[in-house]
Structure formats: structure tokens, C-alpha cells
Amino acid sequence: MFIQKPKGTYDLLPGRSFQRNFIETKLREVFSDFNYSEIRTPAFEKTSLFRRGIGEETDIVSKEMYSFNEDEFTLKPEMTAPVIRAYLENSLYNESPLKKLFYISNMFRRERPQAGRFREFSQYGAEAIGSGDYLIDAEMILLADTILKKFGIYDSKIKINTIGSLSERENYIKVLKNYLSKYINELSADSRRRFETNPLRILDTKDKKDLEVLKDAPLLYDYLNEDTKSFFEKILFNLKLLNVNYETDYRLVRGFDYYTSTTFEFTSESLGAQNSLLGGGRYDLLVEQLGGKPTPAIGFAAGIERFEMILEEKKFCFPSEKEIILYVASIGEESKISALNIMNSLRNSGIKCETDFLNRSVKSQMKEANKCNARYAVVIGENELKNNSFQLKKMSDGNEISITNFENLIEYLKNENQTSSS
């Protein structure tokens, strides 16, 4: 057997790779409309960046990272920490108090692969660093929503919550643990474990008995102070003004330690078990945690593979690849060389063309021209070279027109190419 690709990876083959490029191009357009600039960071970072940024106790850091060189480096499992690192390292805060950055990049997590989940996967996302204004929260959610709508996705569900500040949360966790401790024996094994490691995440459970217990549990929202609540309400109010259809979900908790205040998630029914299409939120403590000055920030990340799954489900109409204008069939050494010459001129004018490199029969070459969807075909043999005259065949109807002279042929195709591409 051949050596196979590593588990959880995939090859982007011709066709699919074209669609991926289309998606990325369109994403860049929308990000640009919102005045976000692209940032690219290394594929790997110092392991300590993720330990400090994402949180030692999170699943990702504790068991899903690809680390090497005796744990010195790690392939990036997410982009927020690297973006903030680059932001600080390059003093981007000196350029302007608010930096709006976006990225499209691949990530690595050592998880068990399944539908919509890979070990190497791609995300697009945005980070707005430097503003604590509620309107940037609203704009961030609007940005994510706009992207989906640009691709014809109108039915994803937007869930929003606020998890308050660190101290509000710590307060609440005490109350929650106090409440849950009375029912600890009724909780699922998972929730009992989380009771110690990450009590907030118990709110996320899908276990029926857990949900029963949680029904009367205290709500985080009730333990937030008025400022936090009114900040949240202002975001909601403005989303309404912007016609963004959200729903509040007071049990929405995010997995990384760095989130504060606003959190949101977009889900889609058509995704199967991994129905989370996009997730994000505010992380006002991270910049400081990574050694910068206290700086409010907010961002989101979306999975490109899951995005593609939805587009496929919705039968999104991708444009087709640039068509081959001319297929040059040749007979013999001399005409092969001329063929390459003609193509050289055509390509210099941006005209896509192809010829045979397998020394096949004219019949086979014509079949090839047909298969690759060439708009025109021309046969170059001794006669054509001697008379400097060509039969240009239109593949769609089989009609041929006579053209004398290389230059005329090239001119003719140039005109044809222009009329089609407009």
C-alpha cells in the first residue's frame, strides 16, 4: 500500500481547490468592506503562547496540541493568541488605537476526526483590538452575518449571551457550585467532572437529567451588575436595528478561558453533529494577559470546511474555471514547435490554451479538446505551415472558418476572448 495522508487531513483536489479560492476571494472582499486588513502569522508558535492565551485547563491545551522540539513549539490550534502576539510584538497599537484584523489560515488540533472536524482545518476570522464600545460588538456580529448572507446562507441560528466580567463570573460560580452540590449525585459523570474543572460548562450539557437539575439553577445573568447588563442590552437593541435575527441563550458558554462579556455562536441544522459554524466573543483580558496594556478586544472564528459543507448542501452556484479558448492539435515535430509558439503569444494576451504533449493522433487530440471544453480547436500540420493558413473550428457547432496568418489567428481569438469575458 502507498503511504497515506495523516488521519484527519484531506487533499484539496482540482475543482474543489478552485472553489476554495473563490470562497477566500469573496471573504477578503467582505472583510475589506468592513475595513479589516489581513494578517498572516507563522504556522507554529512557542507553546507557552497557547498555554497562557487559551488556558492550561482547556481541552485544546491539555490534550489536543501538536507540539514538537521537546514541547518548545506548537502548530497553531487557533488564531486569536497568535494575532494578539503579533499585535504586541509589532506594536500595532501605535498605528491606531483600534486595529481591525482578519485572517484565513489553517489550524491543527489533535482530535478524533468526524464529519465536519479535521486535525488540520481552516478558519477565517476577525479580531477588533482596542475598542470596548458596544457598537463594535454589534458590528462584529453583523460582519459574520453579512459574510453568510453574501454566500446565500440565511437560515443559520445566531445565539448570543454575556458571561460578564471575571469577578462577576467568579461570584456566580460560587453560587452555582453551591446549588449544584445539593444534586451532585444526580449529575452525569461528565458534569461531575466539570464541577471541579470548569463548572460553567455544565450549563452547556445535553444530558436530560442534568437539564432537569439546571432548570431551577441560578442564572448567571441575575448575578451581573447593571453596567454589564445594559452593555449587553445595547448590543441586542442595535442588532435589531440592523435586522440581525439573533436569539439570546443564557446558557451559551465558550470553551476558551479568555472570553469575557459578550459571547456568540452561529449554528446550522445542515451540519450534523458538529453544528457550530462560527463562534466568538469579547476577550478584554487577553492582551494584558499576554503582556500588553489593558486593551479591550473582540473577535470570531469560523470553520471553512463546515462552511463548505453548508454551501454544498445549499447547492451554492460556484463560477466555473476560466475556459480554454483554443486547443492546438499538432502533427509532427515542426508543428508541435509552432503550436507552442502560437500559444505563447495567446497566453501573453491572457488567453488560456492547451496543446498535446503525448504525441497522440489528431483524433485523440480532438477528443482531448472536447473533453477539456475548449471553445476552439485548430490543427497545425505541414499544409497549414506551408500555406500559413488555418481552419479554426468552433467546438460548439463544428463550423470552421479559414484564417490566414498567425497574427490574424491571434487577433481573432483575442477579440473572441474579450467578448466572452465581459
- Least distance in angstroms from the C-beta of 227 to RNA: 27
Rule CB under 7 A: choose which of 20, 28, 46, 117 binds RNA.
Answer: 117
DSSP-assigned beta bridge partners for residue 158: 246, 266
User: Cα(first)–Cα(last) distance of the chain, in Å?
Assistant: 49
Exactly one of 391, 406, 408, 414 binds RNA (CB under 7 A); that residue is 391
Angle of helix 304-313 versus helix 16-33 axis, rounded to 10: 110
- Report the nearest approach of RNA to the CB of residue 192 (Å): 12
- Side-chain-side CA neighbours of 218 within 13 Å: the count stands at 18
The reply on whether position 306 binds RNA by CB under 7 A is yes
- The span of 149-157, 282-290, 301-309, 339-347 binding RNA (CB under 7 A) equals 301-309
Check binding of 156 to RNA (CB under 7 A): no
Give CA angle at 243 (238, 245), nearest 5°: 95
**Least gap, CB of 360 to RNA (angstroms):** 4
Closest distance between RNA and the C-beta of residue 184, in Å?
17
Name which position in 226, 293, 397, 402 contacts RNA (CB under 7 A). 397
The radius of gyration of the chain from alpha carbons, rounded to an integer in Å, stands at 29
Q: Which is nearer to RNA, 135 or 401 (CB)?
A: 401
Distances (CA, A) of 338 to 51, 197, 318, 358, 374: 62, 72, 36, 16, 19
Min dist CB 408 to RNA, Å, is 17
**Are 260 and 282 in contact, with CB atoms under 8 Å apart?**
yes
Query: Residues 45-84: x/- map of binding to RNA (CB under 7 A)?
Result: -------------xxx-----------------x------
Is 121 one of the binding residues for RNA (CB under 7 A)? Answer: yes
Residues 171-210 that bind RNA (CB under 7 A): 190, 194, 201, 204, 206
Of 51 and 229, the one with the shorter C-beta distance to RNA is: 51
Which residue shows C-alpha cell 505551415? Answer: 385
Let me know: does 277 contact 303? Beta carbons within 8 Å: yes
What is the DSSP-derived secondary structure letter of residue 402? E
Using CB under 7 A as the binding rule, whether residue 100 contacts RNA is answered as no
Indicate whether 404 belongs to the interface with RNA (CB under 7 A): no
- The residues, ordered by sequence, that sit 6+ positions from 193 with a Cβ below 8 Å of its Cβ are none
Q: How many CB atoms sit inside 10 A of residue 94's CB?
A: 7
139 near RNA, judged by CB under 7 A: no
Which helix (H) or strand (E) segment holds residue 81: the answer is helix 80-89
Q: Which helix (H) or strand (E) holds 312?
A: helix 304-313
Closest contact distance (angstroms) between CB of 27 and RNA is 14
Measured at the CA of 200, the angle between CA 198 and CA 204, to 5 degrees, comes to 110
By CB under 7 A, name the binding residues for RNA: 1, 4-5, 7-8, 58-60, 78, 109, 111-118, 121, 123, 190, 194, 201, 204, 206, 254-256, 265, 272-279, 301-303, 305-306, 331, 358, 360-364, 366-371, 377, 379-384, 391, 393, 395-398
